[in-house]
A and B are shown apart, each in its own frame.
Chain A
Amino acid sequence: MTIYIDTDYKCHTAPGDGLTAVETDYFDGKCAAYVEGYRFVPAGEAWTRPDGVVFAGEMVCPWKPWRELDNAQRAYEQERLEILTAQNEEYEKALSEIEEALK
Chain B
Amino acid sequence: MGEMIPLYGFGGKNGAALSNLTVTAPVGATVTISKDGKSKPSKVATTGTVVFKGLETGTWTITISNGTETANKTVEIKADYNAEITFFSATINITYPAGLTCTATDGVTTLTAPDTSGTWACVVPNAGTWTIALGNGLREVVTIAATGERHTVNKWYIIRSGVPADIGFSTQIISNRTVPTTQGDGYINYKEANGDATGVLTDNAIDVTSVNKIVADINIVTVGTSSNTRFNGTSLVLTPGKAYSSYSAAVADITHYNLSRTKGRNNLSIDATSITGNWYVGFAIGGKGNFNVYDLWLEV
Contacts and interface: CB of A to CB of B under 8 A. Distances in A.
Contacts of B273: 49
Interface string B266-277: 011111111111
Q: How large is the interface on A (under 10, 10 to 19, 20 to 34, 35 or more residues)?
A: 20 to 34
Contacts of B182: none
A47 to B, nearest CB: 8
Interface stretch (B119-127, B171-179, B254-262): B254-262
B274 A62 contact: yes
B258 A55 contact: yes
B254 to A, nearest CB: 9
Contacts of B272: 61
B228 interface: yes
B276 A66 contact: yes
B276 A65 contact: yes
B228 A25 contact: yes
B252 to A, nearest CB: 8
B213 A53 contact: yes
A39 B271 contact: yes
Contacts of A59: 257-259, 269-271
Contacts of A55: 213, 258, 269-271
Contact of B275 (A24, A53, A66): A66
Interface string B259-296: 11100000111111111110000000000000000000
A82 to B, nearest CB: 21
B259 A49 contact: no
Interface of A: 24-26, 39, 43, 47, 49, 53, 55-67
Interface of B: 212-213, 228-230, 255-261, 267-277
